Structure 1
Amino acid sequence: MPITHRHMKVFSAVIEAGSVSRAATRLNLTQPAVSIALSNLEAELGFSLFHRSKGFFAPTTEALHLHGEVTQSLLAFARMHQRADEIRSGAVGAVSIAANGALAINFLPKVIADFQVENAGLSVELKVHSSRQIASLVSGGQVDIGLIDTPVPVAGLKAEVFRLECVCIMRDDDPLQAVSVVRPDDLSGRCLIGITGDHTVDRQVDSVLSQARIDVKRSVSSAYFAIARNLVAAGGNLSIIDPINGKARLSDGVLWKPFEPLVEHELAIIVARERLSSRSTDTMYEMIKTAVQQVRSA
């Protein structure tokens, strides 16, 4: 019969209590059950653990030597059990997220802070890459969750796409701050900061302006929506950007207005299709999703 956790608990309790009867009380067992467990342990070990004679019961020298090792084993088992409970409840582990610079600056820090309030034992790593790089990292299992612009450029990913209504941003001293909704006519002759690289948002804006026969100045562009906002704050121009960056409260003197007709930005939350996720990753995914939905409905 192999040595079990029960054998070690009984042995340790008898040593510490000084008698079979007191050990039985401590363990909520019968005295015969404790005696049988001790006998089985001695049989497995091949030597006696206690001196037994009428009116005398005491541990052998061998038992005292063994007791320290048994105590360490019981402590290790207790630690393992505690860690298993923590893992089961999602209280330990790590989550890795990748996003472009704009989302990493103005959106994810608050989500991560909220996550850690409820998951203090978990570590979170936030990486910044391009959408194509993020898709490759998630597909290869190097990152748990990615946030990218559509279209999703890599196979083997599960993507949840959110369509977000873009907004027009301006400084708080801009003449357009008085209007409730910005329309193409309001942009005539103004400098409109674009997004570098034939971005889908800019293509939609150009189509809207072309249909309305409105001319704007396109002398400045940036790689990210967040940088476009910084340029607006510094120079007094306008930009039509995603609501995550446009509606962010940054105390930078920039405000936003709805823009009509509708211009949408598509944001995808991606995970590897074939990879089993942890509870912590699932929790983070849901928190990111909720935060995106809150921006969409704001």
Structure 2
Amino acid sequence: MNLWHLKVFNEIMVSGTISQAAKNLKRTQSSISAALSNLEKHIGYNLFIRKKRRLHPVPEAYYLKEESKSILQQMRVLDQSLIKKNETGSEPIKIASMPLLAEILIPSTISKFKKKSPNSNFFVSSRQSSAVYQEISTQTFDIGIAELQNKNALVNQKEYHYECICVLFSGDPLSKKKIITPKDLSKKKCASFQPNHFITKNLIKIFEKNKAIFNPHYQFQNAGTSCVNIVDNADTYSVISPISFWLISKFNLDTSKIIFRRLSSSIPYSFGILTPSHQPMSQIAKSFLNYLENAIENMLKEINNEGVLFKI
């Protein structure tokens, strides 16, 4: 068994056909078939069942895929670390970012940076926070932005800790209050994130603690911007992150019918800039990192100027 065998096997697992695996690996179908055949001869049994021109993995194939994943990942890391990055910036700065900041903050920062370094180029990937940590810990990306997860020795992180914000209808009598309690919101319809989201989980906890009734009447993948249209009467509210508040302003959404207030039982929102702890950054990546840190500081200043940034 060799690395090429594993690479071919993993590609077939993903694509499901020899022909598609050959296209993805830019090899002939015969070479891919030969590699798979040699692998199956080596281990002594077939890894796939052929049905209707597709390859269906046997149970042992899933085991091999899981066990070989870290090997191939380490080889990618080694391969990347041996590639010489010249001073013109021809090697792209690789950035993995949570979706909230991947579409506006990152592109605008790149635009400003390219005025200083016109030869720089970038590879930007929008990922869930857990995936961003994975990419940074395996040193396949230079910089990441993510909601904070469990600390990882392979990841350096510059942390930001703030409170989530309550969104109310402007005509709600509660709008006269500066701080909103869970009991104020009891039984009201919440435009919430989905059940597995950390904000929703925290809302359930603080409502139970305060003996209030949490009613997630509307559930969204991204309640941060959806709340603008849903919170349209005194019986609805939402709870969003400070970054979602910033995005609402950047999207120029109509906020004339909503207001933002602080919660008495705070829900923490923590995010950070991540870099690999065991891989030196190129000079051009370091330079961009400074631009990114300044961009985030400016974003936080904008939120603070609106009176809704509460540091933990």
Unaligned runs of 5+ in 1: 1-85
**TM-score, with structure 1 as normaliser:** 0.59
Question: In structure 2, what is the equivalent of residue 234 of structure 1?
Answer: 229
Question: In structure 2, what is the equivalent of residue 216 of structure 1?
Answer: 214
The code of the aligned residue for 1:213 comes to K
SS at match of 2:121: strand
Q: Is the contact between residue 132 and residue 146 of structure 2 (CA under 8 Å) also seen in structure 1?
A: yes
Following the alignment from structure 2 to structure 1, what is the Cα–Cα distance between the partners of residues 162 and 226? 22
Question: In structure 2, what is the equivalent of residue 260 of structure 1?
Answer: 264
Question: In structure 1, what is the equivalent of residue 188 of structure 2?
Answer: 190
State the 1:132 CA deviation.
2.4
State the 1:135 CA deviation.
2.0
Identity of aligned residues (%): 15
Following the alignment from structure 1 to structure 2, what is the Cα–Cα distance between the partners of residues 174 and 91? 54
Report the number of matched residues.
208
CA change 1:123–1:91 in 2 (3 A) is closer
Following the alignment from structure 1 to structure 2, what is the Cα–Cα distance between the partners of residues 175 and 93? 56
Q: Give the alignment partner of residue 107 of structure 1, picking from 95, 98, 105.
A: 105
Q: Is the contact between residue 109 and residue 291 of structure 2 (CA under 8 Å) also seen in structure 1?
A: yes
SS at match of 1:262: coil
CA change 1:274–1:195 in 2 (3 A) is same
State the 1:278 CA deviation.
1.4
Q: Is the contact between residue 145 and residue 271 of structure 1 (CA under 8 Å) also seen in structure 2?
A: yes
Superposed CA deviations along residues 254-273 of structure 1, whole A, max 9, x for unmatched, are 35333333221111221111
State the 1:172 CA deviation.
5.6
Question: In structure 1, what is the equivalent of residue 243 of structure 2?
Answer: 244
CA change 1:147–1:183 in 2 (3 A) is same
CA change 1:267–1:296 in 2 (3 A) is same
Q: Is the contact between residue 224 and residue 241 of structure 2 (CA under 8 Å) also seen in structure 1?
A: no
SS at match of 1:290: helix
Following the alignment from structure 1 to structure 2, what is the Cα–Cα distance between the partners of residues 133 and 233? 28
Q: Is the contact between residue 136 and residue 154 of structure 1 (CA under 8 Å) also seen in structure 2?
A: no
Q: Is the contact between residue 181 and residue 263 of structure 2 (CA under 8 Å) also seen in structure 1?
A: yes
Displaced runs of 4+ in structure 1, greater than 6 A?
Answer: none
Q: Is the contact between residue 111 and residue 288 of structure 1 (CA under 8 Å) also seen in structure 2?
A: yes
The code of the aligned residue for 1:205 comes to L
The code of the aligned residue for 1:240 comes to V
**TM-score, with structure 2 as normaliser:** 0.57
SS at match of 1:219: strand
Superposed CA deviations along residues 123-148 of structure 1, whole A, max 9, x for unmatched, are 22221112222222223332211112
CA change 1:277–1:130 in 2 (3 A) is same
CA change 1:266–1:142 in 2 (3 A) is same
* RMSD (CA atoms): 2.9
Following the alignment from structure 1 to structure 2, what is the Cα–Cα distance between the partners of residues 119 and 171? 45
Question: In structure 1, what is the equivalent of residue 147 of structure 2?
Answer: 149
Question: In structure 1, what is the equivalent of residue 197 of structure 2?
Answer: 199
The code of the aligned residue for 2:191 comes to I
Q: Is the contact between residue 168 and residue 246 of structure 1 (CA under 8 Å) also seen in structure 2?
A: no
CA change 1:181–1:136 in 2 (3 A) is same
Alignment of 1:1-298 (within 5 A): 87=87, 94-152=92-150, 155-170=153-168, 176-196=174-194, 198-223=196-221, 227-236=222-231, 237-248=236-247, 249=249, 250-254=251-255, 255-296=259-300, 298=304
Following the alignment from structure 2 to structure 1, what is the Cα–Cα distance between the partners of residues 132 and 147? 10
Unaligned runs of 5+ in 2: 1-85, 305-312
Q: Is the contact between residue 195 and residue 201 of structure 2 (CA under 8 Å) also seen in structure 1?
A: no
